[in-house]
Structure 1
Amino acid sequence: RGKGKGKRPSSAAAGDDPFFESEPKRRRARADEDIESGDSDDDALALGGAVVGEDEEEEKEDLETAGEKRLRMTKEYLERITDAVKRNKEEEEEEDDEDDDEDDGLPGGRRVAKLLRKKQLVESGRQRLSLAARVLPPGQQDGFKFIAKHRQPVTAVALSKDSDKGFSASKDGVILHWDVETGKSEKYLWPTEKVLVSHHAKAPLSKKRSQQVLALAVSSDGRYLATGGFDRHIHLWDVRTREHIQAFSGHRGPVSCLAFGLDSSELFSGSYDRSIMQWNAEDRTYMHCLYGHQGEILTTDALSKDRLLTVARDRTMHLWKIPEESQLVFRAPAVSLECCCFIDDKEYLSGSDDGSLELWSVMRKKPTHIIKNAHPALAPSSLDSADEKLPKGKRYFLNSAALFLR
């Protein structure tokens, strides 16, 4: 025994102990034998089967190619969309009856494709909804309510997206903030000339004529109010505090119209100098200038940050495609256009100085339909009421927003 203490283990003993195996292949072979022997044990399988299955799934994910991974993720996404279609089918039927009639005959795959297409249109801001069936006509008890707060003729009005707040301006530069439900108003106070200069306004600012406001626009989120007039500046106000925060200069003529992009902080201004300028209200910066009209610009409307509609005294309406730096020109049949607005990205409305209303399509250069005398003059009896007191003298109605409200 004493002689065998320092001897190396025998080959048989070394073969039983995997530590003494020098070749990697022999070690792997023995490991495989151990796994096979472990598979025969039911208790070991019950305890470790789940872990082995998870490892196999992880190995499969590691071994799959980029294309296989995209395919797997697409299938999982479609499964979630299919489940969402099944859950929300009844709600969609209540919201849009016309779409339901079409969806009833569609197979599941096409219904999922339609839902994906609708989601993409919503995210891009190009979804078209049929709202005519939901609009209720005014009842006999409904009517116009005239409120006399301004001392001078009203030159511009604007309404917030939620229709809770209204804004109006007059020739004397007074800007009022209205509560639509109660009819109460609060006045915006103009800052001193020193404060205006600190907000990047340029002289001259002391002329009385420069106080006249010609245009108003409120952002979609209700944070900013933009005003423009004879002082050739665009003034930016904080709606929450009613304080002046910025003055944009650049136009060489009076600012005649303003419009914010839909769900955007981008602001468009039109001027008597025949130019349209693009600004960013959030960053307080100038972005771009557009030229093309041959007359004073009267009205502008923005559907999104890359589509703009304008009319001018040159009897034309321009559709601007800002990213492409191109424009489509629509010519009025006989009279001068006064106002315009988007219906969607393919159809537009315009109002003329003779009271007519025109419907335009992007596929035609002439109006597809004209309504003559759409805005007839109001009878004097409809303006005079025992309950409402209007200032004496001439009455002026200068409001391009009538195209939106009527």
Structure 2
Amino acid sequence: MAGDRFLAKGVTRTKRQRNGRPVSKGATSTGAKARSRKATKGSDESGSDSDAIGDIESLEHRYGPNEDELSSEDEDEFLETAADKRLRLAKEYIGKVRTATEQHSGEIDAAQIDRDLIAERLMTDAKERTGKWSRRIADQFLYTVDKECLTELKQGLRGVVTCAAVTPDGKFVFSGSKDGSVIKWDAHNGKRIWTVKAQRKQKGGQAVAAEAGKKKAVGHSDHILSIAISSDGQFVATGGRDRKINVWAVRDCRHLTTFHQHKDWVTGLVFRRGTNHLYSCSADRMVKMWNIDELAYMDTLFGHQDSIISISALQREQAVTVGGRDKTVRLWRIADEAQLVFRAGSTTDQHRLTKSLADSAKSDATSALDLNQATRGDIARHEDLLRELAGQEAELHEGSVDCVAMVDEETYVTGGDSGALSLWSVQKKKPIFVQHAAHGMQANADGSQSTRPRWITALATVPYTDLILSASSDGYMRLWRMRDGKLPGFDLVNVIEVGGIVNSIDVKEMNGTNGGDRDVLAAKRDLVVVASVGLEPRLGRWAKGTARNAVKVFRLLAAKPQHK
């Protein structure tokens, strides 16, 4: 090969020589001189200086970056180690936190900011990255929630409200109902801003525009069952019985696209926090993933043996679903292409009721709290109900799991037709705690108490905190506090009257105090809770309420905890 001058010339020429650039003086390093000596030695052995191919080091040198074209910034980045990069990113992050803090700190001096606020923010962010709940906020909402905290949205509502969601800034609310309409509301004054009415159907089932000659109609042609808003507040997605998912722009309410891939009712929608990835679940037993930035379909997950009723997700690339009558809870680890199956279908019998009463007696967590009178009365009535059920040796079987909400990346809660509020952990296949008959028992036609518990129809959490919200057909929304310690469980901290059957709950934690300027380091943050209240359940007509269809917005101000 050394004798072939065509091959030899093609390899031995350096990159600079091929480009016609001369080698600058002083660019030759010790390594270059060593490689030059090696090349000279090889050429002497082969008998030709120009025909030598050279060794691997010279090849690496020839095809490496051009030192003349490297800027000082590129050289610093090229020479930066992994430890240096982590240090640089940490300094940049602290600088951003310092800037945000100084903008919203008021009269706090820089030393106090450095010692307290920045340290608290860094610790909070670090805990949230671990995926476990770390903040205790439930004690801030013990007061009686009156009409001053409520804004009722009901202008022009005709169908049963099945779902509602609030934007991250708490300014707007989107709702969907059984008449197929989507409405955008002003959350502060309760005025209706924008409405998309339901499409009409032809006999063949195809939706058509309301008037001939107009542009193609958008929207739904059947009941809307689910709604979700992205964490950046740019997109809102709606799904319904017409098997479609419609995506809209939040700001100008412009229709972006429609997805038709589901084969049955779209029962649940959720956006992954921090991204515009949308997860959907359906009665066709499939979970689908969508990239809303690209308006594209991503993937499908299989596993449930019955209709999927509800779905929840947080920051990690995973989601939790409940399969209705198949009585399973599934955690989908999307990146690993795996799923964890948890068996629900708990039974409430005398032994479990007695144990629940004993555990409540051991835990004096609520005795030290300054609970309002309505909450204390509800706790007393619930304990009396459990004693009565234990004396009757009643058994309540969970036949369907209907709703799920994630507390953190490893903990979540579920509710179903047995009225039991279950707390789950990825470490165990069974619930680690069950709050039996959380919303009491149904009433008979004559007003007497029946033997059937009230279904839990809606669940929501404030992610990475100890606050859980549940609702049923009793016309009340309950706020629960997760216990911290070796004895897991829930403690009731507040009861809010909403009236009617609550079909969905959405809650957003506001940055800032009393809805004011955004303060990323605020220790106490107000909550905006949106409840969709209807005369009928979301997925059927087996129950009837008495309240008027409405969307109710509660602004819960973070009060100072009166007891530690």
Shorter-chain TM-score above 0.5: yes
Tell me how far 1:239 sits from its aligned partner: 1.2
Q: Equivalent residue for 2:538?
A: 398
Q: Equivalent residue for 2:166?
A: 159
Task: Report 1:142-221 matches (<5 A).
Answer: 146-149=152-155, 150-189=157-196, 204-206=206-208, 210-221=221-232
* Cα deviation digits, residues 108-153 of structure 1 (max 9, x gap): xxxxxx96x876666x684744132673334353565554331111
For 2:227 and 2:288, the matched residues in 1 are separated by 15
Task: Name the SS for the 2:183 alignment partner.
Answer: strand
Does residue 284 in structure 1 map to residue 295 in structure 2? yes
Tell me how far 1:321 sits from its aligned partner: 0.2
* 8 Å contact from structure 1 (residues 118, 127) kept in 2: no
Does residue 302 in structure 1 map to residue 309 in structure 2? no
Does residue 325 in structure 1 map to residue 337 in structure 2? yes
Deviates more, 1:256-265 or 1:208-217: 208-217
Identity %: 30
For 2:241 and 2:82, the matched residues in 1 are separated by 60
Task: Name the SS for the 2:340 alignment partner.
Answer: strand
RCO comparison, higher one (Cα < 8 Å, 6+): 2
Task: Report 1:379-394 matches (<5 A).
Answer: 383=499
TM-score (norm 1): 0.63
Does residue 130 in structure 1 map to residue 143 in structure 2? no
* Cα deviation digits, residues 144-179 of structure 1 (max 9, x gap): 555433111111111222222211111111111122
| Structure that is richer in helix per residue | 1
* 8 Å contact from structure 1 (residues 205, 231) kept in 2: no
Which amino acid is the alignment partner of residue 235 of structure 1?
A: N
Tell me how far 1:315 sits from its aligned partner: 1.3
For 2:205 and 2:85, the matched residues in 1 are separated by 60
* 8 Å contact from structure 1 (residues 174, 187) kept in 2: no
For 2:228 and 2:76, the matched residues in 1 are separated by 53
Task: Name the SS for the 1:296 alignment partner.
Answer: coil
For 1:136 and 1:225, the matched residues in 2 are separated by 29
Q: Equivalent residue for 1:230?
A: 241
Does residue 370 in structure 1 map to residue 377 in structure 2? no
Tell me how far 1:241 sits from its aligned partner: 1.3
For 1:405 and 1:364, the matched residues in 2 are separated by 36
For 2:437 and 2:302, the matched residues in 1 are separated by 32
Tell me how far 1:184 sits from its aligned partner: 1.6
For 2:555 and 2:439, the matched residues in 1 are separated by 12
For 2:333 and 2:90, the matched residues in 1 are separated by 38
For 1:233 and 1:78, the matched residues in 2 are separated by 43
* 8 Å contact from structure 2 (residues 231, 273) kept in 1: yes
> Are the structure 2 counterparts of residues 175 and 68 from structure 1 closer, same or farther at C-alpha, using a change threshold of 3 Å?
closer
* Cα deviation digits, residues 334-372 of structure 1 (max 9, x gap): 412111111111111112223331111111111111223
Q: Equivalent residue for 1:352?
A: 416
For 2:125 and 2:221, the matched residues in 1 are separated by 47
Aligned pair count reads 308
Q: Equivalent residue for 1:36?
A: none
Tell me how far 1:220 sits from its aligned partner: 0.8
* Cα deviation digits, residues 239-264 of structure 1 (max 9, x gap): 11112110011111111111111011
TM-score (norm 2): 0.47
For 2:430 and 2:138, the matched residues in 1 are separated by 28
Tell me how far 1:311 sits from its aligned partner: 0.8
> Are the structure 2 counterparts of residues 351 and 161 from structure 1 closer, same or farther at C-alpha, using a change threshold of 3 Å?
farther
> Are the structure 2 counterparts of residues 65 and 253 from structure 1 closer, same or farther at C-alpha, using a change threshold of 3 Å?
closer
Deviates more, 1:207-216 or 1:315-324: 207-216
> Are the structure 2 counterparts of residues 277 and 203 from structure 1 closer, same or farther at C-alpha, using a change threshold of 3 Å?
farther
Tell me how far 1:91 sits from its aligned partner: 3.6
Greater gyration radius? 1
* Cα deviation digits, residues 284-333 of structure 1 (max 9, x gap): 11100000101101111111351101112111111100010111112221
For 1:320 and 1:382, the matched residues in 2 are separated by 34
Which amino acid is the alignment partner of residue 154 of structure 1?
A: V
For 2:76 and 2:166, the matched residues in 1 are separated by 54
* 8 Å contact from structure 1 (residues 191, 244) kept in 2: no
